[in-house]
Chain A
């Protein structure tokens, strides 16, 4: 399978390029970046050509979009229009309407559209999802998610401090919220139209106008299956607990947002720490697993963009909510 890289910043150079080298049957045919020097550097490192966008889309089977969030929607659309499947880095797109439109476009054209959410491949997350599906903690009533650390990711474009959607909510928060939605089963599913999921935002407190670096939000999801209250706290300034806590009628599950896989199950009878059979799943493993999933599972992949429409709706609602 021929991959074309769009956006040659830190994530492409440090993660996508090396991951693709380890996926059997994959080749990077070219790279594009609005900064020609970045594209040339990436091409030199990965043995491919720096190409104009149109040429790259002609020569690849799957376009990998690793650019700042604001650019995702038009680039996804260009790639789909060129008849290419797309693997776009998180966050999928900014606007819920774009998510609905682009996923429909991909389905209509029979193309793959996938979103990079590597944490879905962590063995601990898979275990939590399984425990929730088995009803071990009963119906979910509340979720709490905390993720924070001193920010140190060196983006080439500096979008995290300049773009309105470069703040901690879309950057880190898309990961954290996806863990909540995926592990709890509240992600968009085939059996339930995402339009049936309603997001009621109670409060959003941010340290400054967007892009903000610290956010605390409270909101509620409601659908035919019930309601889920969510507390979310994110920071680029300081460490937070870095955990997700799912609270059900019969108990609670707690797991790390990072790459520690142990899961704490607490019921009225006591607590037990669970470790997944699959063992630890390091970052590099999860990153490469994304590519294997989209190549081997196609539309059934847990990265299918259809599954991220609710997440996009939540992020947009929180981002657009007034407040400090």
Chain B
């Protein structure tokens, strides 16, 4: 559906998905303004969009449609929740009264937490990997702020496609260096969506007003495809054999595991402080999180309430264990998309696009031999 010269502001336009969304919106007829940080300007300047600095007080234009793909990148930093708040404020600043909002919940909500119940609505805020916590928090902030406007939460499965750092570059690097890209005895659901379909779906959602209120969408059109289909394809392209790892250990849960985790973290923090005088933000964050939760667990009623939804995860996805858990994922992230939309890229076309990219990016030699 073509849209004639309507204005849209895109926050997070420099991201891999953001760039694709901008291109697709432009091709659909939108006038796109990329709202970005100065260090990302280099990326968006090559797109056919106008560029506006985040928080620029000199620019006061407001937009009838605001798309947000930004999120706190440095979520191990001092105040990632403050970043969420600032992003919400920036959306508020960009949006004209009654504006339509499209927010991407990329990767995490149904990434590491794919084993959780899939809900068409804001997901309850339980304690989890901080990345996933922040994603949920942002959804809640927006749902509260824009309760009386048209608000779309677009939750994505694992976004794959040409240049995907997480699902093409990462696995290829692991294949090339002999690291595991499969789990012995398990072939998990991929829960994959193609980046071209993501961008097309965003344009489709915005092509006509959908009515005030909260709209929740889930996109993972290739969800039922197993990881072996994607990893196997990459391995064949490179002429390499995937290495399988034993199943990763179960996630720790309960007070005992939490206390042990906290003790290990405390020892590591002390060791690092002595060794090189530096601390990673993640250790501090874990320590901060551990203390109040340990206290909370001393109350039996609360502990019972938390049973089954309490866990400590590694700091950053995808760590080795987290990646292996995803590769063995037994849970399906079912697509919940508008019924009048058909993905323009099917599985075979998606694979072909990545195959072409592997050659263009240099993974496969011009002579046709990969290694």
Contacts and interface: CB of A to CB of B under 8 A. Distances in A.
B323 to A, nearest CB: 16
A238 B367 contact: no
A151 B42 contact: yes
B362 interface: yes
Interface residues of A, number: 33
B42 A146 contact: no
A154 B39 contact: yes
B361 interface: yes
Contact of B14 (A150, A207, A254): A150
A7 B43 CA distance: 26
A228 interface: no
A151 B38 CA distance: 12
B147 interface: no
Contact of A148 (B239, B240, B361): B361
Given A260-B177, A264-B176, A264-B371, A239 B42 contact: no
A273 B361 contact: no
A233 B177 contact: no
Contact of A241 (B16, B361, B367): B361
Given A150-B43, A273-B178, A254 B371 contact: yes
Nearest to B364: A241
A237 B367 contact: no
Nearest to A207: B46
B362 A144 contact: yes
Nearest to B173: A260
Nearest to A155: B39
B358 to A, nearest CB: 8
A178 B175 CA distance: 26
A273 B169 CA distance: 19
Interface in B216-239: 239
B365 A262 contact: no
23 contacts: A144-B362, A144-B365, A145-B362, A146-B361, A150-B14, A151-B42, A152-B39, A152-B40, A231-B366, A233-B362, A237-B43, A238-B163, A239-B163, A239-B361, A241-B361, A241-B363, A243-B176, A252-B365, A252-B369, A252-B371, A256-B173, A266-B371, A273-B177
Given A236-B42, A252-B369, A260-B177, 6 more contacts: A152-B40, A241-B361, A241-B362, A241-B363, A243-B176, A243-B362
